[in-house]
C-alpha cells in the first residue's frame, strides 16, 4: 500500500489492485483528475474483489475527480461491548471523504462490517455513491456514552448523490436506545439526493439531524425490515434545539414494508411543520404504528396501512388513503403494485417536477393518467429488478477444459477435491463423473470467502436415479472439515426432495425434514437450485428447486434454522455430487451450469 500511496497519479491515470488479493489500509487518495479525465482506482484480473481492510479509515479521500470501482473494504472490530450483546465496536470506516473531496464516485464496490461504510464529511461535496453493496455495517462506537455508528452512508457534506445501492444490516445494540443504526444518516448535510436504493433489514432507513441540515431528498427507495423496532424516517421539528431543527426533507415515492412487532415508520416531532418535511406519493405498511407527527406538515397522496387498520398520529390530507396497497408479494419482497391497487394513478406530479422520471425498475413514469404512489410504476414493462449485490462467484462454464474446471469468470480457480480426471468443462456446462456407488465428487472456489450468501445453479444427471438415489449439493461456509449443504435428492420414482445439512469434522447431519418439490427428475433434464444462508448465532437456511423451463416458485419451499457455533463465520462455496451406495453399479455424470453466488 505504501507504493500505491506514493504513486504520482494525474488525469486519466489508473491505479489497479489485483483481484483475489488484500492490502492493509489506508489508501490515501489525495490525487485529482479532471471531469473529462478522472483518475480510476479499481481492479484487474479474475476472482474476488481486491480487499483494502483493517485500518481505521481504509480509503481516505481528499482529492477530486476520482473513480473508485470494484473494491472491497472492511475492518475487524477494535473490541466488543460485553455490556451490549457483545456488539463489535470501534470507529472504523470504509470510504472516508474529507473536506474538499469533490466530484468523486464510488461504484460497484462493497463495504461491510464497519462503523460507517461511507462517510461524506463536512466540506465534501458533489460526490456519488452508486451501485454498491453496503452490508452489515453494524459496528457501534467504542464510547459507551456515544450513540453513533452502525450506518451505511453518513452524509455531512453537500450536493452528494446516493443511488442504486443495496443496503442491508445497519442495526446494532445501543446502550442509549436499545438499538441504533441507519441505512442513511444526514447530519449537517444540504441538497443531497438519496434515490432508487434497495434497503433491507436496517433499523432505520433515514434520519436527519443538526440545524445545518436542509433540502435533502429521498425518492423511489424500496425499504423492508423485520427488525422489531424498525423505522423508516426521522426528522427534527422547529423546536428541537438539541439535534435540529432540520428543514425541507422531501420524501417522494418510497415503498416501505416493516413487519417488526413494534415498528414505527415515520416520526417528525418537536414542532414539525410544512417547512420541515414534505411527504408525498409514499406507501407505508407497518406492522405496528405508521407514525407520529406533532403538527401540520406537507403531506399528501400517500397510502398508510397496518394489519387491522393503521395506527396514525398525524394530520392527513384528503388525498391520502388508509387502505391495503395491494403489493404483488410483500412477504416475498416484491413491493410492485398488483392489478387494482389503489396506488395506481393516485400520486401527485410533484415528484415528476423534481426530475424523478423513472421508477425503481427503470421504467418510465408515469405509465397511466398520473404518477403511481410508491417506488414501482404499474405497467412500466421493466424486468424484475436485480438490486445491486456483491457477486462472490459467477460461472456459465462457457469454456472448454479437460481434467478440471479451470477458473470461474468471478470467484477464482476451481479446486477439485477428487481425481481431476473426473472433471471437465465442455463449452456450456461443467461435469463431474461419479465413478460408482457410494462415491463423492467435489469442487470448490477457495478464493471466495463469504458468510451470508444466496446461491443459484442448474444441475442434471445423465441417468435416472437408482437405489437410495443421487444427490447434488450447493455448499456454503466451507472451512476445512465444516460446511453447510443444500441438497437436491433425486429418487428412482423421479420425485425430488430438498433439505439442508451441516457437516462438522466431516460428519454430516440433517437439519429439519426433507421437502418434496414434485416429480421433476428426468435424465438430461436440468433442475434449478436456489439456496440462501444467512445469520450468525441462529442461521437461517432456505432452499427451493424447480424444473428448468418452468416458473421459479415465489416462496421458499424449505426453511430451517441452525445454531451450530462452528458455522458462524465466512467460508468458501462449492458443488458436490454423490451417488448412494445402494445404486446400480455404473458411473453417473452430474452436470452444472449457470452458477451465481451473491450477497442475499
Set of cell numbers at residue 395: 460461472
DSSP annotation of 403: S
Q: Please report the pLDDT score of residue 389 as a whole number.
A: 61
- What CATH number has the domain spanning 2-353? 2.160.20
3-class DSSP state of 351: helix
pLDDT average, residue stretch 393-422:
90
Query: Residue 419 pLDDT > 90, yes or no?
Result: no
Query: Per mean pLDDT, which range of 60-64, 565-569, 589-593 is the poorest?
Result: 565-569
Query: Residue 497 pLDDT > 70, yes or no?
Result: yes
Q: What dihedral do alpha carbons 286, 290, 291, 295 form, nearest 10°?
A: 160
Do 2-353 and 391-598 show the same overall fold? no
Query: Per mean pLDDT, which range of 75-84, 375-384, 489-498, 560-569 is the poorest?
Result: 375-384
Ramachandran region of residue 261, left (φ > 0), alpha (ψ -120 to 50) or beta?
alpha
What is the phi/psi pair of residue 479, to 5°?
A: -135, 105
Q: Please report the pLDDT score of residue 381 as a whole number.
A: 58
Set of cell numbers at residue 433: 463423473
Query: Per mean pLDDT, which range of 354-358, 392-396, 414-418, 421-425 is the poorest?
Result: 414-418
DSSP annotation of 567: G
What number of helices (H) and strands (E) belong to the chain?
Answer: 2, 56
The most confident of 144-148, 224-228, 408-412, by mean pLDDT: 224-228
pLDDT in tens, 579-596: 999 998 899 999 999 999
Per-residue confidence band for 386, with pLDDT thresholds at 50, 70 and 90: very low
Q: Please report the pLDDT score of residue 384 as a whole number.
A: 47
Q: Within 13 A of 43's CA, how many CA atoms are on the CB side?
A: 23
Counting every residue written for the chain, the total comes to 600
Q: For residues 26 and 1, what is the distance between their CA atoms, to the nearest angstrom?
A: 8
Q: Per CATH, which fold does 391-598 belong to?
A: Jelly Rolls (2.60.120)
Per-residue confidence band for 274, with pLDDT thresholds at 50, 70 and 90: very high
pLDDT average, residue stretch 533-561:
92
3-class DSSP state of 341: coil
3-class DSSP state of 420: helix
pLDDT in tens, 342-384: 999 999 999 999 999 999 998 999 999 999 999 999 987 544 4
Angle at 97 between CA 49 and CA 210, to 5 degrees: 130
Helix (H) or strand (E) holding 329: strand 327-329
DSSP 90-134: ---EEEEE-TT-BS-EEES-EEESSSEEEEE-TT-BS-EEES-EE
Domain boundaries, the chain: 2-353, 391-598
List, in order, residues 6 or more apart from 549 with CB less than 8 Å away.
Answer: none
- Relative to beta strand 400-402, strand 423-426 is antiparallel
Q: For residues 166 and 133, what is the distance between their CA atoms, to the nearest angstrom?
A: 5
Return the closest-CA partner of residue 58 out of 94, 8, 10.
94
pLDDT in tens, 228-237: 999 999 999 9
Mean pLDDT of the chain: 93
Q: For residues 484 and 64, what is the distance between their CA atoms, to the nearest angstrom?
A: 45
Q: Please report the pLDDT score of residue 175 as a whole number.
A: 86
Structure-model confidence comparison of residues 192 and 381, the more confident one:
192
Query: Residue 326 pLDDT > 60, yes or no?
Result: yes
Q: Please report the pLDDT score of residue 388 as a whole number.
A: 52
Per the CB < 8 A criterion, the answer to whether 137 and 159 are in contact is: no
pLDDT in tens, 527-538: 999 999 999 888
Per-residue confidence band for 144, with pLDDT thresholds at 50, 70 and 90: confident
Location of C-alpha cell 442509549: 176
Question: Is pTM, for the whole model, over 0.85?
Answer: no
Percent over 70 (pLDDT), the chain: 98
pLDDT in tens, 441-462: 999 998 888 899 999 999 999 9
Q: For residues 436 and 553, what is the distance between their CA atoms, to the nearest angstrom?
A: 33
DSSP annotation of 63: -
N-term to C-term CA, the chain: 31
Query: Residue 281 pLDDT > 90, yes or no?
Result: yes
Amino acid at each position: 500500500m505504501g507504493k500505491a500511496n506514493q504513486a504520482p497519479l494525474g488525469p486519466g491515470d489508473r491505479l489497479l489492485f489485483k483481484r483475489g488479493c488484500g492490502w492493509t489500509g489506508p489508501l490515501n487518495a489525495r490525487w485529482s483528475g479532471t471531469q473529462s479525465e478522472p483518475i480510476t482506482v479499481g481492479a484487474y484480473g479474475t476472482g474476488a474483489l481486491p480487499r483494502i481492510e483493517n485500518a481505521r479509515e481504509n480509503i481516505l479521500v481528499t482529492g477530486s475527480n476520482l473513480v473508485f470501482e470494484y473494491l472491497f473494504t472492511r475492518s475487524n472490530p477494535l473490541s466488543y461491548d460485553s455490556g451490549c450483546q457483545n456488539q463489535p465496536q470501534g470507529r472504523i470506516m470504509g470510504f472516508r471523504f474529507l473536506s474538499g473531496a469533490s466530484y468523486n464516485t464510488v461504484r460497484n464496490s462493497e463495504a461491510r462490517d464497519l462503523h460507517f461504510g461511507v462517510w461524506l464529511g463536512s466540506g465534501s461535496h458533489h460526490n456519488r455513491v452508486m451501485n454498491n453493496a453496503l452490508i452489515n455495517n453494524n459496528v457501534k462506537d467504542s464510547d459507551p456514552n456515544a450513540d453513533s455508528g452502525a450506518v451505511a452512508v453518513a452524509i455531512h457534506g453537500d450536493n452528494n448523490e446516493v443511488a442504486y445501492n443495496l443496503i442491508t444490516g445497519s442495526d446494532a445494540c445501543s446502550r442509549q436506545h436499545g438499538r441504533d443504526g441507519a441505512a442513511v444518516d444526514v447530519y449537517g448535510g444540504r441538497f443531497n439526493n438519496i434515490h432508487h436504493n434497495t434497503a433491507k433489514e436496517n433499523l432505520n432507513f433515514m434520519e436527519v439531524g443538526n440545524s445545518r441540515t436542509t433540502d435533502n431528498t429521498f425518492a423511489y427507495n424500496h425499504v423492508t425490515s423485520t427488525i422489531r423496532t424498525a423505522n423508516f424516517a426521522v426528522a427534527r421539528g422547529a423546536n428541537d434545539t438539541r439535534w435540529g431543527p432540520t428543514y425541507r426533507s422531501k420524501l417522494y415515492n418510497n415503498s416501505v414494508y416493516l413487519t417488526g412487532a413494534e415498528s414505527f415508520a415515520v416520526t417528525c416531532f418537536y414542532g414539525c411543520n410544512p417547512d420541515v418535511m414534505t411527504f408525498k406519493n409514499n406507501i407505508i405498511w407497518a406492522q405496528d404504528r405508521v407514525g407520529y407527527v406533532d403538527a401540520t406538515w406537507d403531506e399528501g397522496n400517500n397510502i398508510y396501512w397496518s394489519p387491522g387498520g393503521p395506527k396514525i398520529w398525524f394530520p392527513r390530507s384528503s388525498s391520502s388513503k388508509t387502505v391495503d396497497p395491494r403489493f404483488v408479494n410483500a412477504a416475498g419482497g416484491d413491493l410492485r403494485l398488483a392489478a387494482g391497487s389503489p396506488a395506481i394513478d393516485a400520486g401527485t406530479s410533484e415528484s415528476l417536477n423534481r426530475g424523478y422520471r423513472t421508477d425503481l425498475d427503470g421504467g418510465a413514469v408515469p405509465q397511466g393518467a398520473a404518477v403511481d404512489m410508491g417506488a414501482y410504476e404499474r405497467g412500466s414493462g421493466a424486468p424484475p429488478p436485480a438490486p445491486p449485490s456483491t457477486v462472490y462467484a459467477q460461472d456459465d462454464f462457457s469454456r472448454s477444459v479437460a481434467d478440471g474446471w479451470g477458473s470461474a469468470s468471478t470467484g477464482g480457480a476451481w479446486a477439485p477435491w477428487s481425481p481431476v480426471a473426473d472433471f471437465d468443462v465442455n463449452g456450456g456446462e461443467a461435469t463431474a463423473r461419479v465413478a460408482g456407488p457410494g462415491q463423492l465428487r467435489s469442487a470448490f472456489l477457495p478464493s471466495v470467502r463469504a458468510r451470508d450468501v444466496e446461491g443459484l445453479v442448474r444441475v442434471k444427471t445423465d441417468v435416472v436415479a437408482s437405489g437410495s438415489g443421487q444427490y447434488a449439493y450447493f455448499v456454503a461456509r466451507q472451512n476445512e472439515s465444516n460446511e453447510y449443504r443444500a441438497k437436491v435428492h433425486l429418487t428412482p420414482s423421479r420425485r425430488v426432495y430438498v433439505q439442508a445439512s451441516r457437516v462438522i469434522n466431516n460428519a454430516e447431519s440433517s437439519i429439519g425434514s426433507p421437502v418434496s418439490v414434485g416429480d421433476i427428475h428426468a435424465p438430461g433434464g436440468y433442475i434449478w437450485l436456489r439456496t440462501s444462508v444467512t445469520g450468525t448465532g441462529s442461521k437461517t437456511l432456505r432452499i427451493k428447486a424447480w424444473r428448468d423451463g418452468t416458473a421459479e416458485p415465489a416462496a421458499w419451499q424449505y426453511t430451517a434454522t441452525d445454531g451450530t457455533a462452528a458455522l458462524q463465520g465466512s467460508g468458501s462455496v462449492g458443488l458436490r455430487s454423490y451417488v448412494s451406495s445402494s445404486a446400480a453399479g455404473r458411473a453417473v455424470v452430474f452436470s452444472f451450469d449457470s452458477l451465481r453466488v451473491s450477497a442475499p
